[in-house]
Chain A
């Protein structure tokens, strides 16, 4: 298991390298004089020169890249002139909101999706099955940010049950926090639940047809025990794969949903920075989010090994 873990961690190194190259390249794609953009309208010529020097725009590309990587390896993501603070500080301050939103919706989507999928597989070819398929397709086709706005209109404006936006920190008021998170989390979960349900259904259908499931039932085991202890565990691998893919969708979905519900996460930080053309913050935010996703993928691979020992022994 430890060897498997190490191999998996090592394979993330080239991926992270490409991620960093792409993020560094973004800055280079920006047309025009970036120092003018960063300095704002009231910057003097001397200010701009200082920014250029600080960013190293007066030096050749390879020197800049070297300096950027040197800083990066020490956890320094650069400095935002518009926020007047280090980028890393701003990003990591906002990260918990994004992660809790993505995590909460992942949990909701997985639980609801797996249950719906099991139900569809057990009631194969009935109206339950067809209903689950339709729900899955509609979820897959609905833009999540729009669905968020529809939920705001429904529950925030017409029914008045929940706030239409804004955020209350968990430490200040747990109930207020839950109220501000429930709509965003459900928005993301409901659009992604269908994908998990589809995969669970087809994976469970495969497994439920196996001999050992029939044997377990024949020797008098309870139906629920067979479904959850025998069948589900063996149906988990494809489900875990989909959950891994969905985590990426949810992470970027969270970035957009934060904008819809005015939640102070990394997403709003990035979007705000885009509007102010504060590129170090855009870079830092993207880089950190991508690293989170790479880490999630490692966890998913480890879960394979846990659900199916053959995977880790094969390495």
Chain B
């Protein structure tokens, strides 16, 4: 029967495609982990995530436990990173503080990714929306750096949720621009025209054909958003518009340390080192990802 033969041929073709896809994924992973900066960055990020997740097991003391017998103690065997003005253990506070950074960082990355994709795709695919959306985003980008986030967080009030909202608003415009630029290229491809010709609906075309082929610059961009978000969260906490004390965040420990520069350098120094190492890891990962995904795109990068 010819129908059976056709089915068999289709099935073997399907299996062949699945195998090829699997092979390509494996090759991609091998190239990624063979890239030294990606590997180092990935290891740093993994250590950071592990610290945040395992904070209750790692931290030697409670992060808010006050000990009046060890006020402003310098680093020692009992307190590796020293203690602060309340005798709280800086190492424990830093370990717990990574949780705040990670929570806010991950939320900002997810939300920025979602809104950036929606706005960027809409601007590119729906022509009449392009002008209004882009002018609006240009206006948001006219606020220098994290200043918009500072203003928003100040208006909304200090909390982790509000810091997340503020940072998302601040970082979405640039991300949307990246998505728009990449969707614009893909939507002019011949296979998109072919999809239109065979009668595929807009939803299917956008999700299955355009986005599936346009998202790699977004992934690179989001790695850098993650890095900038960790620094920006620390800035908000430092200025007192981030997650409020006494719960530790890397930024508010540094803010505490600012008042003790004369007598206790360790309070400010250690949490900053942790931020710098984590952000360095993310930047290395981003550089590696970009080299592997798209070697041409080495030029401009974030400046959020």
Residues of A whose CB lies within 8 Å of any CB of B are 14-19, 21-23, 26-27, 29-31, 137-138, 140-143, 145-147, 149-150, 152-153, 156-157, 164, 195, 202, 238, 241-242, 245-253, 255-256, 259-260, 270-271, 274-275, 279, 282, 286, 289-290, 293-294, 297
Q: B140: CB under 8 A from chain A?
A: yes
Q: Which residue of B lies closest to A31 (CB)?
A: B157
Give the contacting residue for A143; candidates B140, B241, B261, B276; CB below 8 A.
B276
Using Cβ atoms and an 8 Å threshold, which residues of chain B touch A275?
A: 240
- Known contacts A137-B283, A146-B272: does B261 contact A18 (CB below 8 Å)? no
Interface readout for B258-272 with A: 1 if CB under 8 Å, 0 if not? 100110010011011
A140 to B142, CA, bound (A): 21
Q: In the bound complex, do residue B152 and residue A26 qualify as a contact, i.e. CB atoms below 8 Å apart?
A: yes
Residues of B within 8 A of A23 (CB): 151
A146–B234 CB distance below 8 A: yes
Pick from A21, A141, A147, A242: contact of B283, CB under 8 Å: A141
Q: Please, which residues of chain A bring their CB within 8 A of the CB of B272? A: 142-143, 146-147, 149-150
- Tell me if A274 and B147 are in contact (CB < 8 A): no
Residues of B within 8 A of A (CB): 135-136, 138-140, 142-148, 150-152, 154-157, 227, 231, 234-235, 238-241, 254, 257-258, 261-262, 265, 268-269, 271-272, 275-277, 279-280, 283-284, 298-300, 303
Considering the chains assembled together, what is the distance between the CA atoms of A142 and B257 in angstroms? 17
Residues of chain B contacted by A142 (CB below 8 angstroms): 272, 276, 279
Residues of B within 8 A of A286 (CB): 143, 147-148, 151
Q: Is the CB of A282 within 8 A of B144?
A: no
Tell me, rounded to whole Å, the shortest Cβ–Cβ distance linking A30 to chain B. 5
Q: How far is the CB of A224 from chain B (nearest CB, A)?
A: 27
CB of A146 within 8 A of CB of B275, answer yes
**C-alpha spacing A188/B179, complex, angstroms:** 30
Residues of B with C-beta under 8 A to A147: 272
Cα A150 to Cα B266 in complex, Å, equals: 10
Question: Taking CB as reference atom, which chain A residue is nearest B239?
Answer: A271
Residues of B with C-beta under 8 A to A30 = 155-156
Contacts of A140 in B (CB 8 A): 279, 283
Q: How far is the CB of B140 from chain A (nearest CB, A)?
A: 7
What's the minimum C-beta distance from B254 to chain A, rounded to whole angstroms?
6
Main secondary structure of the interface of B (DSSP, over half): helix
- A16 neighbours in B (Cβ, 8 Å): 139, 142
Residues of A within 8 A of B144 (CB): 247-252, 289-290, 293
CB distance from B137 to the nearest CB of A (A): 9
8 A-B pairs with least C-beta separation: A18-B139, A252-B145, A146-B272, A248-B144, A245-B303, A141-B280, A251-B144, A141-B279
Are A29 and B155 in touch, CB under 8 angstroms? yes
For B138, the chain A residues whose CB sits under 8 A away are 14-15, 18
Determine which residue in A21, A27, A145, A147 has the highest number of CB atoms from chain B within 10 A of its CB, and name it: A145
Q: Which residues of A contact B154 (CB under 8 A)?
A: 274, 282
Given A31-B156, A137-B284, A286-B151: A143 in contact with B231 (beta carbons within 8 A):
yes
Q: Pick the contact of B155 from A245, A247, A252, A282 — CB < 8 Å?
A: A282
> Contacts of B135 on A, CB cut-off 8 Å?
14-15, 18
Contacts of A247 in B (CB 8 A): 144
Asked if B238 and A145 make an inter-chain contact with CB atoms under 8 angstroms apart, the answer reads: yes
Q: List 5 A-B contacts (CB under 8 A).
A: A15-B138, A249-B145, A249-B303, A252-B150, A253-B145
Across the interface, B142 reaches (CB within 8 A) one of A15, A145, A153, namely A15
Residues of B within 8 A of A250 (CB): 144
A22 touches B148 (CB 8 A): yes
Determine the distance from Cα of A238 to Cα of B239 in the docked complex, in whole angstroms.
33
Query: Once bound together, how far apart are the Cα atoms of A286 and B152, in whole Å?
Result: 10
Residue in B closest to A29 when the chains form the complex, CB atoms: B155
The reply to whether B147 and A150 form a contact with Cβ atoms under 8 Å apart is no
B272 closest partner in A (C-beta) = A146
A164→B261 contact, CB < 8 A: yes
Q: With a CB–CB cut-off of 8 A, which chain B residues contact A26? A: 151-152, 155
Whole-angstrom CA separation of A286 from B144 in the bound complex: 9
**Judging by beta carbons under 8 Å apart, are B143 and A256 in contact?**
no
How long is the Cα–Cα vector from A47 to B246 in the complex, in angstroms? 35
* Known A16-B139, A146-B276, A256-B239; further 6 A-B contacts with Cβ < 8 A: A26-B155, A27-B155, A137-B280, A137-B284, A286-B147, A290-B144
Quick one: given A29-B155, A271-B239, are A18 and B142 in contact (CB under 8 Å)?
A: yes
**B194 CB to nearest chain A CB (Å):** 34
Name the residue on A nearest B257 (C-beta): A149
Most chain A CB inside 10 Å of its own CB: which residue of B155, B156, B227 = B155
Bound-state CA distance A256–B150 (Å) is: 10
A22 and B143 contacting across the interface, CB-CB below 8 Å:
yes
Contact B235 A145 (CB under 8 A): yes
Asked if A246 contacts B303 (CB within 8 A), the reply is yes
> Chain B residues with Cβ under 8 A from A18's Cβ?
135-136, 138-140, 142
Other-chain residue from B265, B271, B298 in contact with A202 (beta carbon distance below 8 A): B298
Question: Are the CB atoms of B269 and A150 closer together than 8 Å?
Answer: yes
